[in-house]
Amino acid sequence: MSDLDVLYQQIILDHAKVRTGGDLPESETAAAPVFPGIGQSHQLNPVCGDEITLRVTVEDGKVASVRWNGAGCAISMASASVLSELAEGVVPEELLGLIGNFREVMRSRGKLAGEEEILGDAAAFSGVSRYPARVKCAMLAWVAAEEALRQAVAA
């Protein structure tokens, strides 16, 4: 497998094409609806212009859905898609833990590999950590989810 293929795992390319959760309408990205259990965050990567608005809905103590509207590179879009699948049905504290775990792997400069039992498809992003310029791309949706989740739980 070439270095490029290690970065762009097939699973990442697949998620970049068929994007779970990427159906939040543009019209709803301006402001977050103020309801208990709903949080929304907008994140921008000023280096390359990757952008995402991500909404987390918490119902009955679990994440009911993660939906987002974004534009960006394959890494950032696939990462948002993987996160959306991973988060559904997870309790907020556990999702915060997963986000922390993912961040640790991403910031490891290639030293840590994500564990598939914990991170699921997101473990495929481990290769990104060797490319410091791309870590922000991978983290974009996760940073948005962290902020949105805290809002949703606080509301």
Partner 1 sequence: MTLVSARTQRHDPGQHGRPQGVEPLDRASVPVALTDTEVRRIRNDFPILEKEVNGKPLVYLDSGATSQNPVSVLEAEQEFYEQRNAAVHRGAHQLAVDATDAFEDARATVAGFVGATDSELVWTANATAGLNLLAYSFSNASVGHAGAAAERFMLAPGDEVLVTEMEHHANLIPWQELCRRTGATLKFIPIDDDGALRLEEADRLITGRTKVLAFTHVSNVLGSINPVQELTAMAHRVGALVVLDACQSAPHLPLDLKALDVDFAVFSGHKMLGPTGIGALYGRAGLLDAMPPFLTGGSMITTVSMSEAQYLPAPQRFEAGTQAVSQAVAFAAAVNYLGETGMERIHRWEMELGQRLVVGLQAIDGVRVLGPVAGRDRTGLAAFDVAGVHAHDVGQFLDARGIAVRVGHHCAQPLHRRLGLSASTRASTYLYNTTDEIDQLLDAVSNVRGYFGVDASGERR
How many residues of this chain interact with partner 1, rule: CB under 8 A?
22
Contact 45, 136 (CB under 8 A): yes
Beta carbon nearer to partner 1, 6 or 112 = 6
Residue 3 binding partner 1, by CB under 8 A: yes
Residue 45's region, left for phi above 0, alpha for psi from -120 to 50, else beta, is: beta
Beta carbon nearer to partner 1, 17 or 109 = 17
Site for partner 1 in 107-136 (CB under 8 A): 131, 134
Smallest separation (angstroms) from partner 1 to the CB of 88: 23
Nearest by Cα to 147 from 74, 104, 95: 95
Smallest separation (angstroms) from partner 1 to the CB of 7: 7
Alpha helix segments (H runs only) across the chain: 3-7, 10-17, 74-87, 92-106, 116-119, 132-154
Rounded CA-CA distance 21/17 in Å is: 12
Site for partner 1 in 49-78 (CB under 8 A): 49-51, 71-75
Query: Per the structure block, which two tokens stand in for 48?
Result: 């390359």
Interface residue with partner 1 among 23, 33, 35, 47 (CB under 8 A) is: 47
Span interacting with partner 1, options 34-42, 43-51, 61-69, 144-152, rule CB under 8 A: 43-51
Helical pair 92-106 and 74-87, crossing angle rounded to 10 deg: 150
Q: Which residues bind partner 1 (CB under 8 A)?
A: 2-4, 7-8, 13, 16-18, 47-51, 71-75, 131, 134, 137
